[in-house]
Structure 1
Amino acid sequence: MTDATTKARWRAAILAAVLVTGGGGYWLGQRGGDATAPGAASDDSRKILYYYDPMFPNQKFDKPGKSPFMDMELMPKYADDGAADAAPGIIVDPGARQSLGMRVVAAEMGSLAATVDATGSIEFNQRDVAIVQARSGGYVERVYRLAPGDVIGAGAPIADVQLPEWGGAQTEYLSVKRLGRPDLTAAARQRLRLMGMPEAVIAEVDRSGRTGGRLTVRAPIGGVVQALNARAGVTLAPGQTLAEISGLGTVWLNAALPEAQAGLVQVGQRAAATLTAFPGESFGGRVVAILPTAAADSRTLTVRIELPNRSGRLRPGMFASVALGGDARPALLVPSEAVIRTGKRNVVMLEMGDGRYHPAEVATGREGGGKTEILDGLAAGEKVVASGQFLLDSEASLTGLAVRPLDAAR
């Protein structure tokens, strides 16, 4: 963008701002007349105090002419600016309102849910993990065709292992059983359980009367094989891990939430996630945890959301957006675009009637659906400017118009 273009846009913005006041409208109408010096009277006997550049209103000049800061004419400041009417405010004639496209709406009571938007990624549910171990010493006879990353179902075979200790214990159990001593039989059966022998294996020994230390190790849950340590011929120690499986029935969405919005989210709150992989679809879940530490670099908290994944389409690593919604409650609402945020305070431009406008400070709360909650500073039914308010705010600052404080609306 060239300097000439930038200057032209500044001139257009200042010209629009000048249109909103009575003094500016007069100046535009009398621009072709002779300039007057400070202290003198204009054609309609209005006394000129000084001249100024609207972009640098604190700098005063004794004579009219070109601004040393911008390529535009200096504007006169009249002694009776703002004194023509008893009530303070900025006056805008109907023609200027139409030119500026001003839109006025009334503050009204409504229902607003505490909706917070965040982004995150899908991860495995670390509470749904199965570790498959050898319950007794032995060795691996056979490993089924599996590899890390494979998706398997519950009960799928992983490996055939030979456990000699099981064979010896089963032989002792059958010998005790033949003695006909129920108490000793129960004790021997309990020993088999403590060795990690499944009930189905014990029942088969009871039924057939035969012993066997061979066992097919199966997946206790369906999911993704994260680790596979079983290899044919490998000697096993008691408690050695053969495989690790992560379930896919549910997944976690770890979303980054700005710490300024931490008070809007609670454990148990509902959430709706959307993914670019599935446009038009929404996946419902709930907040299961808010991690206790904040990221020092991004100043965000991690909100953990659990999502059902019955179809298995939500895959760890996918990027997702999530809307965290709370219960809706009554609130005084105005359009979000009507609120002017200066960094130190929030201001709206009130319509006072008869084409008069006045700035008012407000305290804001939640936002959602293009609406902002007003906690203080406005009453239901008061009208605010929702379009064109920035020019009015600039003119209010230029003329030194005091902002209505919060307690004045009570």
Structure 2
Amino acid sequence: SPDLVTTQQEYLLALETLEKVKGGQNEVTIRGAESLVEASKRRLLLWGISEKQIEELTRRKKTNTHMTIYAPLGGTVIHKNALEGKYVKEGENLYKISDLSNLWMLADIYEYEMAWVKNGQKVEITTPAYPGEKFEGKIAFIDPYLSQKTRSVKVRVDVPNPRLRLKPGMYVNALIRSSIDEGVHGPGKVIYTCSMHPEVISDKPGECPICGMFLVKKELASSGSVLAVYKYAVLDTGVRKLVYVEKEKGIYEPTVVEIGSEAVALVNGQKRRFYVLKAGLSEGMRVVSQANFLIDSQSQLTGQAGAAYGGALTEKEKEKAPPSKHIH
């Protein structure tokens, strides 16, 4: 480039001027010559000339019409525009270089999951290309806009890739572990109960007062866990949320519950959807998770579950109505 040759000549001329005025007594002139050298050197650096090449130019004191241009960073060439013998214009991109040792992973987070996702959270990443292997990343950016078509938001995750095993464009699965603040937290203690009569609960080991069997030790959920109920166990009446609880074998009773956010948890390696429980149930209760609509419809036909729906019966009928149960 003629401009690059001119910049080299300006630098060499500035060096020559500095050498001439160094022996003088005028400090202003010397500082001016030094400033001119520094300015010329900065122009060479802006051209992409390295410090080592500038040192070689200073030593040889001769301009170069052919120079090697070094990339400003190391990486992998992902696109090449330059061809041998091609005339290159100023500002034209010759190569695209990417540092693949640190990748971006883009994940789609559904609208109901947005409350669980925050910047800085760790993400566990798996891919069919490497079965059984896990990669870790960290959420760096959450898109401020929601897609109207997919009802999801894009999340960018920074993923270290030192061995370059992950490739751009690969499909991966992401697991984001999030702590839950709402709901009923586990007591984090140990109780003793009878295997034949689960309603018998004691804080100490001993015998069941009903059958005389020794009580079995049972560890309750830790204080860091949250009580949850299977999503499809909850019936939404439009007024309240109901769960059918097993009171005795074959006898089920509707119980009003207060639920929180929806979450996905791994149960025996499979993803299951749950609601966080705020009130209505306690740990260890057996609830109907399938065919609860059938039980509910049968209860309504017998008129025994009407009171649970608030408005199905008049006030007088509610007083006369028997407790809401379904006997199977």
Alignment of 1:58-97 (within 5 A): none
Deviations 1:63-87 (CA, angstroms, capped at 9, x unpaired): xxxxxxxxxxxxxxxxxxxxxxxxx
Deviations 1:323-342 (CA, angstroms, capped at 9, x unpaired): 11123553552452772345
Structure number with higher relative contact order (C-alpha < 8 Å, ≥ 6 residues apart): 1
Q: Find the counterpart in structure 2 of residue 37 from structure 1.
A: none
> Are 2:266 and 1:369 equivalent residues in the alignment?
yes
AA in 1 matched with 2:266:
G
Task: Work out the CA distance in 2 between the residues paired with 1:338 and 1:241.
Answer: 56
Work out whether residues 269 and 324 of structure 1, in 8 Å CA contact, stay in contact via their aligned partners in 2. yes
Q: CA deviation at 1:239?
A: 2.9
Residues 1:332 and 1:206: Cα distance change in structure 2 (over 3 Å) = closer
> Are 2:223 and 1:339 equivalent residues in the alignment?
no
AA in 2 matched with 1:348:
V
AA in 2 matched with 1:333:
L
> Are 2:29 and 1:200 equivalent residues in the alignment?
no
Work out whether residues 229 and 276 of structure 2, in 8 Å CA contact, stay in contact via their aligned partners in 1. no
Task: Work out the CA distance in 1 between the residues paired with 2:16 and 2:154.
Answer: 59
Q: CA deviation at 1:254?
A: 1.0
Q: Identity of aligned pairs, percent? A: 26
Work out whether residues 227 and 243 of structure 1, in 8 Å CA contact, stay in contact via their aligned partners in 2. yes
Q: Any idea what SS the aligned residue of 1:285 has? A: strand
Q: Find the counterpart in structure 1 of residue 114 from structure 2.
A: 262
Out of 281-290 and 361-370, give the one that drifted further: 361-370
Task: Work out the CA distance in 1 between the residues paired with 2:237 and 2:157.
Answer: 33
Deviations 1:317-368 (CA, angstroms, capped at 9, x unpaired): 1111111112355355245277234584643112345864211232333432
Q: Find the counterpart in structure 1 of residue 285 from structure 2.
A: 383
Match of 1:316 among 154, 168, 179: 168
Task: Work out the CA distance in 1 between the residues paired with 2:63 and 2:155.
Answer: 53
Task: Work out the CA distance in 1 between the residues paired with 2:90 and 2:13.
Answer: 20
Q: Any idea what SS the aligned residue of 2:227 has? A: strand
Q: Find the counterpart in structure 1 of residue 36 from structure 2.
A: 187
Residues 1:334 and 1:404: Cα distance change in structure 2 (over 3 Å) = farther
Q: Find the counterpart in structure 1 of residue 15 from structure 2.
A: 174
Q: CA deviation at 1:220?
A: 2.7
For normalisation by structure 1, the TM-score amounts to 0.53
AA in 1 matched with 2:253:
H
Task: Work out the CA distance in 1 between the residues paired with 2:234 and 2:286.
Answer: 11
Work out whether residues 339 and 346 of structure 1, in 8 Å CA contact, stay in contact via their aligned partners in 2. no
Q: Any idea what SS the aligned residue of 2:243 has? A: strand
Larger Rg: 1
Work out whether residues 360 and 377 of structure 1, in 8 Å CA contact, stay in contact via their aligned partners in 2. no
> Are 2:255 and 1:360 equivalent residues in the alignment?
yes
Task: Work out the CA distance in 1 between the residues paired with 2:38 and 2:52.
Answer: 13
Out of 379-388 and 191-200, give the one that drifted further: 379-388
Task: Work out the CA distance in 1 between the residues paired with 2:100 and 2:43.
Answer: 31
AA in 1 matched with 2:10:
A
Q: CA deviation at 1:289?
A: 1.0
> Are 2:84 and 1:232 equivalent residues in the alignment?
yes
Count of aligned pairs: 247
Q: Find the counterpart in structure 2 of residue 399 from structure 1.
A: 302
Greater per-residue strand proportion: 1
Q: CA deviation at 1:224?
A: 3.2
Deviations 1:381-406 (CA, angstroms, capped at 9, x unpaired): 57232466624334323323146589
Residues 1:229 and 1:354: Cα distance change in structure 2 (over 3 Å) = closer
Q: Any idea what SS the aligned residue of 1:179 has? A: helix
For normalisation by structure 2, the TM-score amounts to 0.64
Match of 1:297 among 145, 149, 155: 149
Q: Find the counterpart in structure 2 of residue 286 from structure 1.
A: 138
Q: Supply the RMSD in Å over aligned alpha carbons.
A: 3.1
Work out whether residues 138 and 157 of structure 2, in 8 Å CA contact, stay in contact via their aligned partners in 1. yes
Residues 1:307 and 1:381: Cα distance change in structure 2 (over 3 Å) = closer
Task: Work out the CA distance in 1 between the residues paired with 2:80 and 2:232.
Answer: 60
